[in-house]
Amino acid sequence: MRPIIITCHNGAFALPAAMDLLKAGGSAVDAVVLGCTMVEANPEDHSVGYSGLPNLLGQVELDASVMDGNGLRAGSIGALQGYQQAAQVAREVMNSLPHVLLGGDGPMRLAAEMGLEPTNLLTPEAEAIWKSRLTDSDDRDASYLGRIKQMVNLAEDPQIAEQTGTGEPAHGTVNFIAMDMNGDIATGVSTSGWAWKYPGRMGDSPVIGAGNYADNRWGAAACTGRGEMAQRCLTAHSVVTFMRFGMSLEEALAQGMRDLDALDDPYASEMNILAIDKDGNPGGASSNPEKEFAVMTPEMTEAEMRPRTYVELDILKR
Ligand code: ASP
């Protein structure tokens, strides 16, 4: 099979290395984990791995998942602190444990057993963005519950977007979806989640079926945006299921987006989906008309940016 790999705008720089791995006969799982590892190490990206934006207590907590469409194998971790290679730890759950999802101290323990280097994930730049809206940071535990509503919307604030250096909001994720030379499909998702989130909050990224799903027989999908929306609609699994029952890739993406309109969600915000069908055709959809995704096939020397299909969501107008 001709390999292919796709990602979000913030993963485009990692595609040449991931494609080299696929061209050398590497697996789709290893290609998506390599891509996530590179983004997790990028100090300029405040939405994934090292230098991610922290929760309300100033702790960086990482969520990640990996799914192998060959046999529906999956591993995921939530709220990992102190190690940046979140996707590698998720792959280890899949490969070495009789489990799918690890939370609590489990991901940290597994990272140490893997021999990964502990890292202080909070950089001065990320800390400055985090602190910029916490005037009473000395007493920050006290009124947390009263503030969470304000904080969840703040992540979308245009002024905060300026401070992230990319013009992007104070949340984000990276998705990679690959098909290898054997025709196996895999997805990898990694994030530091929503800035100022409640400690221990996990988004869609570590929830198989919500932010990540891969099945060699029908295709794969992964999400970015407000994780609670994808969790409630099981968006990634839905898109794959729509293809299973005969929709084209584009129809499945659009239906996955439109399903979100049923949600009663006062915090509704931007949602984005990436997908490939079982033949490796790529596509993307977004509630933001500006959003693109990156594609790489073997003959390309660098990633190609393509527009995502814009799907207007009524829930964002309510
Ligand atoms: N989906 C991520 C989360 O909810 C955030 C994002 O992609 O913007 O944690």
DSSP state letters, 91-147: HHHHHHSS-SEE-TTHHHHHHHHTTPPP-----HHHHHHHHTT-TTGGGTTTTHHHH
For ligand 1, is residue 191 a contact (CB within 6 Å)? yes
- Per-residue pLDDT, 147: 67
User: Residue for token digits 């994934």?
Assistant: 48
Question: What does the pLDDT read at residue 144?
Answer: 62
Q: What is the mean pLDDT of residues 150-164?
A: 73
> Under a CB-based contact definition with an 8 Å cutoff, are residues 116 and 88 in contact?
yes
- Amino acid 318: pLDDT: 80
**Sequence ranges of the domains in the chain:** 4-317
Contact 184 CB / ligand 1 (< 6 Å): no
Distance from chain centroid for Cα 117: 23
pLDDT band for position 152 (cuts 50, 70, 90): low
Tens of pLDDT, residue by residue over 250-275, are 999 999 999 999 999 988 999 999 99
Mean pLDDT over each residue of the chain, to the nearest integer: 93
Least confident of 63-72, 116-125, 145-154, 196-205: 145-154
Residue 197 Cα: closest atom of ligand 1: 9
Cβ–ligand 1 distance for 194 under 6 Å, the answer yes
Distance, CA 190 to ligand 1 centroid (Å)? Answer: 9
Cα 176 to the center of its chain, rounded Å: 8
Residue from 76, 157, 194, 223 to probe ligand 1 pocket by mutation (most atoms less than 8 Å from CB): 194
Q: What number is the average pLDDT over the span 25-33?
A: 98
**Confidence bin at 174 (pLDDT 50/70/90):** very high
CATH topology of domain 4-317: Glutamine Phosphoribosylpyrophosphate, subunit 1, domain 1 (3.60.20)
What is this structure's pTM?
Answer: 0.95
pLDDT at residue 6 greater than cutoff 70? yes
End-to-end CA distance of the chain: 45
Active site residue 173: yes
Q: Minimum mean pLDDT among 56-60, 109-113, 304-308: which range?
A: 56-60
Strands 212-215 and 185-191: unpaired
Does position 299 have pLDDT exceeding 50, yes or no? yes
Query: Ligand 1 pocket, 206 CB below 6 A?
Result: no
pLDDT at 157 (0 to 100):
77
Main-chain phi, psi angles of 107, to 5 degrees: -60, -35
Looking at the CA of residue 169, tell me the nearest atom of ligand 1. Answer: 8
Ligand 1 binding pocket mutation candidate from 61, 62, 77, 191 (most atoms within 8 A of CB): 191
Whether ligand 1 lies within 6 angstroms of the CB of 188 is answered as no
pLDDT of 138 reads 46
Residue 127 neighbours by CB under 8 Å, 6+ apart? 54, 58
pLDDT band of 288, cuts 50, 70, 90: very high
Identify whether the C-beta of residue 80 lies closer than 8 Å to the C-beta of residue 202.
no
Residue nearest to atom 8 of ligand 1 (CA): 172
